[in-house]
Amino acid sequence: MKTNLCHMLGIEHPIIAAPMGPDLTGPDLVAAVSNAGGLGILQAQLCPPPLFRQEIRRVRALTVRPFGVNLILHFPVEDHVAVCLEERVPVLSFFWGDPMPYVGRAHAAGVKVFHQVGSVAEAERVAAAGIEVIVAQGVEAGGHIAGQVSTLALIPRVVDAVAPRPVVAAGGIADGRGVVAVQPAPSAQAPGNTQNAVPIPPRLQQRGVAPAAPPPRGAPTAAAPPLPPADHPPSIS
């Protein structure tokens, strides 16, 4: 499955590792996801700027593929933004605040900008400021949450509001079926405009892999196991 964002970023699969803190999405996992064809996103904001720079360079030592860095704007970020722009990270992702002061500077440095939103109104506001990619977060997401409605209810509304910009779906997506579920229908106004932010389980850090690419739309899926007889309730172990 190739989407607009895949072509924009030079990645193979529409899978983005959601930033989950330096103990989870550190350089090793970020590089593993990028090497597997997705987009790893580093969350190392709590590091002082010199160590933050080292973390970015560590990612570059592990992969030649595109990756991103996420910054939560609720905290001071000026020094970290400066490091990202000096290091020319491919993607700079923002959340929980106003990204407007940083968009022009990022574009001048050749850096693409993501911003995560929880509503159509916020998506429209940041799209008007020149954000390239909108991350639409449903209430199913973990960590810092902006969404107040379900991911599946929010995504099509945001896609319609900001088309033709790519929209990344975040919240409650953990396997190929979830990836397929948030893709627009073939008759939608902006087909192929939705990507997916997948929280990579910690156990995958040791395996160095990202979730497999989803099956093509319409491909057969495994049948569900038959239900037990009514007089024989299932066992729980």
Q: Mean pLDDT over residues 205-226, rounded?
A: 47
CA 34, CA 170: separation in Å to the nearest integer? 18
pLDDT of residue 147: 73
Q: Which residue has the higher pLDDT, 41 or 213?
A: 41
pLDDT at 195: 52
DSSP class of residue 39 equals B
Q: For residue 75, is pLDDT > 50? A: yes
User: What is the structure's pLDDT at 197?
Assistant: 61
CA atoms of 103 and 8, how far apart (whole Å): 17
Helices 27-35/49-62 angle, 10° precision: 30
pLDDT at 19: 86
**125-139 confidence digits (pLDDT tens):** 999 999 999 999 998
d(CA 56, CA 143): 22
Q: What is the pLDDT of residues 151-183, one digit of tens each?
A: 999 999 999 999 999 999 998 888 888 888 887
More confidently predicted of 174 and 124 = 124
- For residue 119, the model assigns a pLDDT of 94
Which of 42-46, 96-100, 104-108, 203-207 bottoms out in mean pLDDT, i.e. has the lowest?
203-207
Helices (H) and strands (E) in the chain, counts: 9, 8
pLDDT of residue 224: 44
**Pairing relationship of beta strands 15-17 and 194-198 according to DSSP bridges:** parallel
* Residue spans per domain, the chain: 4-207
Give the DSSP per-residue string, 43-94.
--TTS-HHHHHHHHHHHHHH-SS-EEEEEETTS--HHHHHHHHHTT-SEEEE
Determine the average pLDDT of the residues in 184-201: 44
Asked if residue 197 lies in contact with residue 18, where contact means CB atoms within 8 angstroms, the answer is: yes
Mean pLDDT of the chain: 81
pLDDT at 237 exceeding the cut of 80: no
More confidently predicted of 165 and 229: 165
Residue by residue, DSSP assigns 127-175 as HHTT-SEEEEE-TT--SS----S-HHHHHHHHHHHHTTS-EEEESS--S
Q: How would residue 204 be classed by pLDDT, with cut points 50, 70 and 90?
A: very low
Rounded Cα–Cα distance for residues 81 and 38 (Å): 23
H/E stretch holding 113 reads strand 112-117
Confidence of residue 214 (pLDDT cuts 50, 70, 90): very low
Distance (Å, whole) CA 188 – CA 123: 19
Q: Is the pTM of this model over 0.95?
A: no
Has residue 202 got a pLDDT over 50? Answer: no
- Asked if pLDDT for residue 209 goes beyond 80, the answer is no
CATH code that applies to domain 4-207: 3.20.20.70
- Between residues 65 and 186, which one has the greater pLDDT? 65
Token pair 């933050």 in the structure block, residue: 52
